[in-house]
Amino acid sequence: MARYRRPSHGGASGEEDQVMSAINTTPLVDVMLVLLIIFLITIPVVTQTVNVKLPTETNIPTQTKPENIVLAVDAKNVTYWNQQPISDAELLARLEKAATKDPQPEVHIRGDITARYGPLGRIVLAVQRAGIVKIAFITEPQPGGQ
């Protein structure tokens, strides 16, 4: 019986064919380039938004009226009603009494830059519970008039 040998390509006779272990990345690169082109074409279509004109920041001088209520929170998180320290319960009672006036007073809130959010949030909540509709936060203008 004769044995059949496969012809070898470029190797010494008797060597068996080696399995090629390198990955052909050309098809992968082709697919990635096609996906990149598709995404570049479709992204502008997806990111369309409604055309609106946004308001710009304005700095309106505070109009101090005697009936305005000025509340402040200092760096130690103490709440003040026109320079007098006040508790949360007393604050709500005074705001409810002020809400009955006609016209309603405005509430101006001044918070120290290092004050925590909690006391300021409680002031806003108390103003809402009292039924006062006008609240303003007093800030310092930025240097340079902006």
| DSSP assignments along 79-142, one per residue | EEETTEE--HHHHHHHHHHHHTSSSPPPEEEEE-TT--HHHHHHHHHHHHHHT---EEEE-PPP
pTM: predicted TM-score of the whole model, two decimal places: 0.55
Residue 35 confidence (pLDDT) above 90: yes
Map out the domains of the chain as residue ranges: 85-138
What share of the chain in percent tops pLDDT 70?
69
Q: What is the pLDDT of residue 5?
A: 59
**Mean pLDDT, rounded, of the chain:** 79
What tokens appear for 145 in the block?
């008039």
